[in-house]
Structure 1
Amino acid sequence: MGEEAPDEEAEVADFSFLESAEPVPDAPADFSFLDERVEPVETATREPSPEAEAVAPAVEPASEDDHIGVEPAKPGEEDALDDADSAADFSWLEADLPPEEEDEDQRPVVDAASDTAVVPAPAPRPAIPGDAGFRLREKPAEAPAAPAPRISWADRLRLGLARSSSQLTDSITSLFTKRRLDEETLQDFEDILIQADLGVETAMRITDRLSEGRFGKEIAGSEVRRILAEEIEKTLAPVAQPLELDLEKKPHVILVVGVNGTGKTTTIGKLAAKLTRGGLKVTLCAGDTFRAAAVEQLKIWGERTGSEVVAKQIGADAAGLAFEAYDRAVENDSDVLIIDTAGRLQNKAELMAELEKINRVLAKREPDAPHTVLQTLDATTGQNALNQVEIFRNVSGVNGLVMTKLDGTARGGILVAIAAKHRLPVYFVGVGEGIDDLEPFKAKDFASAIAGTPLN
């Protein structure tokens, strides 16, 4: 059965009815008014250059099948085609652009020696006659940066004791504001001084001094603080002594002891820095053989101060290490040997016995060694520091103190109580972790800082 021929007339859509339709009145919108206001714009026509025509002649548009059977380009022909594309002339685009002007003064100059482009300095400003009636504004000179002001040790001590001072002075101000001096007031004042860790002996002496000639009268808080500062200075003045080194017995041996966490190793490093700055040769002994961090920390201080460090493996005998360190200090002609020890609680009998052993071993090498036994005290421990001094003094013969961490406590008055009870020299105090935050103890500076009075 044959297929029927397609009906061609049925496939052709008839749109003749559109031609006979009446035009829609609103369709032909008139925009001719725009042409009256807009000037005709001449369209730039690109005229190809003769060179471009020679390199790239006109090519008839390719048909869909033109790519069939075309051989690939031979070597070298791709470059020729690329050159033809690059030879196109677009200079007509730049015809209307103004030429760029280059500043003669800022034009780079190639330095023949270094083969680098160097921008020369700007030309000097022209000289304007004085009677010209105008002048050029001068660029203000940049002032050099001022160096950071150096804070004195007295000011740093005052900042470190700010917590101790504010707690004490605020209580004094509130107690003596518009109040006559009577027995009740004196008793309240004595309680304030004891709570500030100044000690009972010091508190009683200060209240007795305050009551002389002032009983029954009003007294200003500033007057109370002045008396407080004077009495604290009297207590501290006898113990504020410099560390004395006997170099007739080289090396002078300093044994540093104290409870865990009081800052022994850091104090040793700061002390070594002071001694080396003064021209002395120092050897350090890492006698805290229980704590690896202490050995590493002491080695770092040795590098900072140029001091030799004698150390052994963790768990080594501390007394034997101290003996070897003394011999090494003699060999390298050191002026001072500083021996670190493991931190220990005062109620640990076996650890305290080790300190006695270190002293005995050193005495075999040098009868008077150790010449100085420094105990570090943490100011934050308060009244417990009194017991620590007593026990370490009996076991290891402590003959000097270093008070640390005064900047982190409101209990700095404990140093006054220790001085009044034990009367041991206080060589240094520390108010920070920096290398310069350990300074010789001065009674007047400390008393003024803790009482909140001006330093005269």
Structure 2
Amino acid sequence: MDILILAVVIALVAVGVISGLVVSSRKKKQLPPPAPPSTPTITAPPAEPQVGEDAVETAEEPRRTIEEVGLPEAEAPAPAPVVEPEAPAAPEIEVPEPTAGRLVRLRARLARSQNSLGKGLLTLLSREHLDEDTWEEIEETLLVADVGVVPTQELVDRLRERVKVLGTRTPADLRALLKEELLTLVGTDLDRVVKTESGEDTPGVIMVVGVNGTGKTTTTGKLARVLVADGRSVVLGAADTFRAAAADQLQTWGERVGARTVRGPEGGDPASIAYDAVKEGIAEGADVVLIDTAGRLHTKTGLMDELGKVKRVVEKHGPLDEILLVLDATTGQNGLTQARVFAEVVDITGIVLTKLDGTAKGGIVIAVQRELGVPVKLIGLGEGPDDLAPFVPEAFVDALIGD
């Protein structure tokens, strides 16, 4: 019994202890007292638009009629500034180089491409024994230089005879001998002056002819510079109406030296333009009229006939003073074929050899003169505006032989 009472007492004590622990734990976990209350901020909802009877009445304002309302006046646009078109600047008139001694100044340019002929001949002639093989080499050197078969044979025969008579052959003797014989072939007694004076009260008239690609229009422009440099006044006739921009090209050349160009529509009648050019030259009192014709293929009969027509029409004003044939020196012997056909259509009075500073062979001068029986009067030695020079045989042969 006592034991039972003791167990009950222990159980009661245990329950009391556990209850105290729980109450203590709860006291520790209580939240801190709340902060004193503050005045709450209340955000009012946005006001709703009032309609019907609740709408606020709009204050009455005086109304104006449309006549009373002044419209803003449109500002007048500022006048655009008047831009005066600039007149094209007049091209500056150039002063061409004097023609006297021009070939001498260009001699070095000529010698660069021609020296092989003179040096080759001098080397062969300086051999101790001039046997048949050596003379054949001399003949071959001349043929390669485009001298032509007949002139080559003449030169070789004369050299054989002169060397045999000469006996000793010093370099100075051989150079003098070769120069003399080449001058004989080139010809020192031919009239190489470009005719610019007519026997009548009309300008001298020069017609320039040639095949496409020989530099004919450019040569005509350079010839104008040559004539101006010699104190002549010039009128140009752009009768090449078949090649695009040929007239523009010629006019540009003329403007550089103050020469006027007479031209017509592209594809127009060349004879008519040539006639008008001479007519204008007479009216202006010009010294010379230069007529550039269309490049002709020597195989086209119709075109060659037209060239003859240009000549006949121009001659209604008076005789032509010069008909210059422009040949590309680099074409060699093929140029002789062209020259023959042109000579049959018009009476060629002189030859202009272009591109003689390039790969051309100097012997073509001799060959073409023999073929046509007319002199080379001008040669082109470069692309510069003053690289067209009157042909001087002595200066030419000096350039062939070299120093």
TM-score normalised by the chain length of structure 2: 0.69
Equivalence for 2:340: 390
Report how far residue 301 of structure 1 moved.
Answer: 1.0
Taking structure 1 as reference, are residues 177 and 273 closer, same or farther at Cα in structure 2, changes over 3 Å only?
Answer: closer
- Structure 1 segment 405-420 matched on structure 2, within 5 A: 405-420=355-370
Report how far residue 244 of structure 1 moved.
Answer: 2.4
Identical positions, percent: 40
**One-letter code of the match for 1:305?**
V
- Name the CA distance, whole Å, in 2 between partners of 1:278 and 1:256: 19
CA RMSD in angstroms, aligned pairs only: 2.7
Q: Does 1:181 align with 2:130?
A: yes
Corresponding residue SS for 2:135: helix
Report how far residue 2 of structure 1 moved.
Answer: 11
Equivalence for 1:285: 237
- Structure 1 segment 69-148 matched on structure 2, within 5 A: none
Query: With CA pairs under 8 Å and 6+ residues apart, which has the higher RCO, 1 or 2?
Result: 2
Taking structure 1 as reference, are residues 344 and 433 closer, same or farther at Cα in structure 2, changes over 3 Å only?
Answer: same
Residues paired across the two proteins, number: 305
Residue pair 1:165, 1:410 contacting (<8 A) in 2 also: no
Equivalence for 1:192: 141
- Name the CA distance, whole Å, in 2 between partners of 1:184 and 1:158: 32
Gaps of 5+ in 1: 6-150
**One-letter code of the match for 1:332?**
E
Corresponding residue SS for 1:435: coil
Residue pair 2:263, 2:273 contacting (<8 A) in 1 also: yes
- Structure 1 segment 337-376 matched on structure 2, within 5 A: 337-366=289-318, 368=319, 370-376=320-326
Q: Does 1:435 align with 2:392?
A: no
Aligned equivalent of 1:400, options 313, 328, 350: 350
Report how far residue 227 of structure 1 moved.
Answer: 2.8
Taking structure 1 as reference, are residues 313 and 191 closer, same or farther at Cα in structure 2, changes over 3 Å only?
Answer: same
Equivalence for 1:301: 253
Alpha-carbon displacement from aligned partner over 1:310-334 (angstroms, at most 9, x marks no partner): 1112111101111122222222221
Residue pair 1:226, 1:451 contacting (<8 A) in 2 also: no
Residues 202-211 or 317-326, more deviating: 202-211
Taking structure 1 as reference, are residues 360 and 310 closer, same or farther at Cα in structure 2, changes over 3 Å only?
Answer: same
Equivalence for 1:203: 152
Moved over 6 A (4+): 1-5
Residue pair 2:332, 2:360 contacting (<8 A) in 1 also: no
Report how far residue 4 of structure 1 moved.
Answer: 8.6
- Name the CA distance, whole Å, in 2 between partners of 1:172 and 1:220: 14
Taking structure 1 as reference, are residues 174 and 228 closer, same or farther at Cα in structure 2, changes over 3 Å only?
Answer: closer
Residue pair 2:195, 2:204 contacting (<8 A) in 1 also: no
Residue pair 2:103, 2:392 contacting (<8 A) in 1 also: no
Report how far residue 293 of structure 1 moved.
Answer: 2.5
Gaps of 5+ in 2: 1-25, 31-100
Residue pair 1:282, 1:335 contacting (<8 A) in 2 also: yes
Taking structure 1 as reference, are residues 322 and 179 closer, same or farther at Cα in structure 2, changes over 3 Å only?
Answer: same
TM-score normalised by the chain length of structure 1: 0.62
Alpha-carbon displacement from aligned partner over 1:409-445 (angstroms, at most 9, x marks no partner): 2412111112233331222111012222111111111
- Name the CA distance, whole Å, in 2 between partners of 1:194 and 1:225: 20
- Name the CA distance, whole Å, in 2 between partners of 1:255 and 1:230: 34
- Name the CA distance, whole Å, in 2 between partners of 1:350 and 1:381: 24
Aligned equivalent of 2:189, options 211, 227, 238: 238
Report how far residue 353 of structure 1 moved.
Answer: 0.9
Taking structure 1 as reference, are residues 303 and 186 closer, same or farther at Cα in structure 2, changes over 3 Å only?
Answer: same
